[in-house]
Amino acid sequence: MPHRLRCRQGEMRHGPPRPATVIEYRSYELPSHFPMRIIAGEDWRISDVPCGVLHFHNCLEIGLCESDGGKIDFAGHVEDFHAGDVTVIAGDVPHTTWSDAGTASKWAYLFCDPEELLRPFFALDTLPNARLLDGLLHGWCRVLSPQQNPALAPLVRQMLREMTQKGLNYQISVRGLFVAFITELMRLPAHGDIGSLTGSMVIAPALRYINSHYMENFTIGDLAEACSMSQSHFRRVFHELMGIGPLEHLNHTRITKACTLLRMTDESILTVGEQVGFRSMSSFNRHFAEAMGCSPSEWRRTVGAGRSTSILKYNGWLTPPRDK
């Protein structure tokens, strides 16, 4: 099951405090050879009853509303959505969705690791306007209508078709479509509205730091300081929210990156371990075996024959949660 944290959203200056909100962490497994997952179909109709549970992901979420309308709560900021709208939600933005009364809006979703999808085309640090892309991947969320952004929905629909039909070289097609999609997002004007929610979740600075500096040496104190917390409080909140400690999450991030390097490069096992931040071969082998069930060399030998091999364990939702 996803991990939950019950937290206080804040208190009004006058009157009673706002009710506590439950937040879930949902981790979606992404195939190592092609880090994108599609979730769609008739089961994906969203209830008209707000569930009261916000959630966030280990990856970028792209949604397409195929029917009806409703509302999305982005960490306390509620936006309307309608049929044909595209939603883009960075992994560190807590959110939840419900449909208009008496309806059950139908959705299709793509979950992906943008950095790994784009890597075969170019290194992200060489991309023009790379800061804009970085802003889209952290603390960013939008509901984008076809009237204001006519190019987006057709790109998403084509990616969904490619992911469903899996025709010849569909991965190449999807990567190209994703480049076009991200480029359109980078061209959006900054309206100063809900677009950026960086820091809305208390551990968001730590998650972003780990994602950007996983290959470096840093301490739990550095992460706690980034979140303006004491180390003990940071450890407790991080574990309650993520279900694992910050060091375990760091090691999972390193192993995920290592799997990509093992599959896509000819670097030695030792070099791969060093590149993702492990300071000894024994440490790399131990953590890799704990996460993947085999050694790095064994994984590299078998991944070519089993290209659907996934990185780390899935514990998200394959069907919408039902009303109780």
Same domain, 171 and 268: no
Residue where a domain stops, chosen among 132, 160, 186: 186
d(CA 269, CA 285): 9
pLDDT at 260 over 80: no
The CA-atom distances, in angstroms, between 178 and each of 60, 104, 175, 185, 264 are 12, 28, 5, 10, 20
What pLDDT does residue 231 have? 92
d(CA 178, CA 115): 11
Same domain, 225 and 280: yes
Q: Has residue 297 been placed in a domain?
A: yes
Highest mean pLDDT among 12-21, 40-49, 77-86, 181-190: 77-86
> Higher-confidence residue: 314 or 300?
300
Same domain, 56 and 165: yes
The answer to whether 5 touches 23, Cβ cutoff 8 Å, is yes
Same domain, 179 and 80: yes
Domain with residue 50: its CATH number is 2.60.120.280
Residue where a domain stops, chosen among 186, 215, 244: 186
Average pLDDT over residues 87-98: 90
Same domain, 256 and 164: no
Q: Which residues pair with 5 in a beta bridge?
A: 23
Range of the domain at 162: 3-186
Q: Has residue 314 been placed in a domain?
A: no
Token representation of residue 85: 């709208």
Which string of b and e fits 161-194 if b means at least 16 CB within 10 Å? Answer: bbbeeeeeebbebbbebbbebbebbbebeeeeeb
pLDDT at 298 over 60: yes
| pLDDT above 70 coverage of the chain, percent | 81
Query: Using 50, 70 and 90 to split pLDDT, how confident is the model at 124?
Result: low
Same domain, 120 and 219: no
The answer to whether 58 touches 91, Cβ cutoff 8 Å, is yes
Average pLDDT over residues 270-279: 93
Q: Is 304 exposed, middle or buried (0-12, 13-18, 19+ CB in 10 A)?
A: exposed
Name the domain count of the chain: 2
Question: For 219-250, what is each residue's pLDDT tens digit?
Answer: 999 999 999 999 999 998 888 877 788 998 89
Q: Which residues pair with 226 in a beta bridge?
A: none
Domain with residue 257: its CATH number is 1.10.10.60
What pLDDT does residue 284 have? 93
The answer to whether 80 touches 74, Cβ cutoff 8 Å, is no
Q: Has residue 143 been placed in a domain?
A: yes
Q: Has residue 199 been placed in a domain?
A: no
d(CA 80, CA 176): 30
Strand 77-82 to 53-57 pairing: unpaired
**pTM for this entry:** 0.70
Q: Has residue 315 been placed in a domain?
A: no
